Amino acid sequence: MYLAYFEQIVGKHIIDLGGPADWALPFWDYSDATNVDARKLPRAFSTPANGTNGLWLSGRSTAQIPANYVTLDALNTIPYLGDGIQSPLGFGGPRTVFSHSGGTHGRLESRPHDLVHVAIGGAMGDPRTAALDPIFWLHHANIDRLWQVWLNRAGGRRNPTWSGQTFNFHDKDGRVVTMAPKNVEDTTRILTGYTYQDVPTAVAVRESLEAIEQESIQEPFEVIAATNKKSKLTSEKMVVSLKLQPPSQKENSFKAVNEAVGNTSRKETYLHFENVTGKGVPPIYDVYVNMPNSKNKASYYAGSLGFFGVEEASIPSAHHAGSGQHFALDISNLIGELRNRPDWNPDKLDVHLEPSSPLKKDASVVIGKISLYSA
Amino acid sequence: MRIPLNRSVSWQRYLLDQNISSSDWWVWMASAVAWVFLFTHGGEEMPKEPVLCTSKEQANISLGLSNLTTASVRELAYYACMIVAMMFPLLSGQVKHVAFSVQRKVRNLAIGFFLAGYTFLWIAAASILSVLVVYLRSWVAISPDLPPSVVSALGFLIAAIIFWLPSRRGILTACERTVPIPMNSWQSLAESFGYGVSNGLICFRICWAPMLAMIMSVHSMTVMILITFGILLERYYFHDKSKIIGYVWAATAVVFITIAIF
């Protein structure tokens, strides 16, 4: 919604200044594997790197965004809703109120959304200032595009029934307008309508959450390992050992392989980072599982944590309870691979957390609980 | 894992899974049982007024305190029953958080400790509120002969004013607070109990006004049902910006005033 009205407002000014009448908000496709410069900040936003450039902003990182921060495995997710505990982690995460903070970050939000924000840094690193950076709008246009790409993949991908909440905006003439989520499901019907380059707009099938849930029974997740105390992250690497407890049911252990109901589908395993609180803009932390040394790190890579908005999430407000952030990494495939290795220990799992850059003095991160859920 | 419905899954397994995935179901059951008890025993046996307000001598503080110290377990049990009936349905999200934070083998015990902590806080809070009512009656020289409906109207008017305060929204949001709970051992039970107490405190901050209105309405069953309905709608149906429940409390105050007048 806000992208559409931003485009409308900026477009009006561009036209008033003699610009093209068909100006549209561009998107930054940082995941384009065919473009060697895709993960670099677009040139117009970095050159010249001074105040004469209206698209330049100080404080940004000049480094190229690592490739594993912008992979699109989120598009493989089918359910829209899910928190990775009571149900598989969804494309959009669990059902929440409208807030920057609280609740589990969904797949798309975790990667690439959060990671791009923190990787660029500066104003982009904090949700309270992110929109001040012009690149914010191209980043979110891409996120909006990826939502359509996800819908187009069909195979059960569909939007949920929205709660009916409405939001107010100002249009290009300064008038207050109201929109609801259901109004923006079809991009061709938003304001004057739009589509993304090379992304056709399929008819969005909207089904109620109940209809989606009734298609199959979700075997409940159970926590099989967890820390008992908080973990404070530093500029150094940290290893947290999770001792796998004796399971309540034999189906929920690594030792019992897919024997619960005789099916051969993979067991889902999520690594959760709960009640993450902190200050400032912490760096991205890369997560590895059972990594013996620094060689061949990629084969032990579980994901990355971009604590985008952690300070805001830690402070209670009228919008959220201040319980911090919650991240879930799907390590089902990784566990499957590690289990076939000779050094696999079914009683313990080592979680390695490595900062991508030093933790600044005004930043801090404390993870309330690291837990492992399996179903 | 998702199990397609066309596979052969025993109904016993299905029900077990639903029990686990809907871990809050027995909280609603406990509430229903409590309501049945209140309806069946709320005629003569249930105290019409708090033990501190049983007679015209309630203005005598020393007598009130004496009654407090000899308050029977029976009155406290009724308080607990009312809390189970009225407040437990508000805890669906919190119970699920506790349930899924711990291992399945300690799940029900952890939920029990959470609810025990919550109930403990509310019983303590309700007792303090009752004492405050006694002091209010004395300090503001409320005549024991004042029509009860006027007192009730005052209670609901206070509830409406508190509802419309700007700080209400933040307090209501705090109900969604979660804490990390260890997955097993005594620590999980201790944290669950502590979570219940802290949740009870948060809940008290948002619900003390309608509870005060209920105490000032001498625990009328009709008022209890009205308040329960109101707080459930506020919790699960209306958006946190909605003012409807505040209008309901104000309208209830008007109704009581009308009763007093006519």
ipTM of the complex as predicted: 0.85
The C-alpha angle B60, B66, B72, rounded to 5 degrees, equals 130
- B93 CB near a chain A CB, below 8 Å? no
| Cβ distance of A216 and B2 shorter than 8 Å | yes
In single-letter form, the type of residue at position A342 comes to: P
DSSP A196: B
**Residue A348 DSSP SS3:** strand
| Cβ distance of B2 and A274 shorter than 8 Å | no
From first to last of the 375 residues of chain A, give the pLDDT tens digit.
Answer: 889 999 999 999 999 999 999 899 999 999 999 999 999 999 999 999 999 999 999 999 989 999 999 999 999 998 898 888 888 889 998 887 766 666 789 999 999 999 999 999 999 999 999 999 999 999 999 999 999 999 988 888 888 878 777 889 999 999 999 988 888 888 888 888 888 887 866 554 444 454 455 445 556 688 999 999 999 999 999 999 999 876 555 444 444 433 433 344 557 899 999 999 999 999 999 999 999 887 789 999 999 999 999 999 999 988 888 999 999 999 999 999 998 888 888 889 999 999 999 999 999 999 999 999 988
- B28: its two tokens: 């609603």
In whole angstroms, give the CA distance from residue A196 to residue A183. Answer: 18
* Minimal Cβ distance to B180: which of A85, A97, A368: A368
Cα-Cα-Cα-Cα torsion A370, A371, A372, A373, nearest 10 degrees, comes to -140
Strands, E assignment, chain A: 167-170, 176-179, 216-218, 222-226, 231-233, 238-243, 269-279, 285-289, 301-305, 325-330, 348-355, 364-374
How close, in Å, is residue A289 to chain B by CA atoms?
Answer: 20
Question: Which of the residues A85, A214, A221, A222 would you substitute to probe the B interface, choosing the one with the greatest number of B C-beta atoms within 10 Å?
Answer: A222
- A39: its two tokens: 């993960």
| Cβ distance of B2 and A275 shorter than 8 Å | no
Alpha helices of B3-147 — where are they, by DSSP H? 11-21, 25-41, 61-69, 73-87, 92-101, 107-139
| Cβ distance of B17 and A260 shorter than 8 Å | no
In whole angstroms, give the CA distance from residue A199 to residue B56. Answer: 78
Q: Which of A220, A231, A254 is nearest to A305 (CA)?
A: A231
Q: Which residues of B touch A260 (CB under 8 A)?
A: 1
The DSSP bridge partners found for residue A225 are A372
Judge contact between B159 and B214, C-beta under 8 A: no
Q: Which of B189, B202, B206, B204 is nearest to B98 (CA)?
A: B189
In whole angstroms, give the CA distance from residue A128 to residue A106. Answer: 20
Judge contact between A146 and A137, C-beta under 8 A: no
- A69: its two tokens: 């921060």
| Cβ distance of A216 and B169 shorter than 8 Å | no
| Cβ distance of A102 and B176 shorter than 8 Å | yes
How close, in Å, is residue A267 to chain B by CA atoms?
Answer: 6
| Cβ distance of B103 and A222 shorter than 8 Å | yes
Total CB pairs under 8 A between chain A and B: 113
**Residue A104 DSSP SS3:** strand
* pTM of this structure: 0.86
Q: Which residues of B touch A368 (CB under 8 A)?
A: 179-180
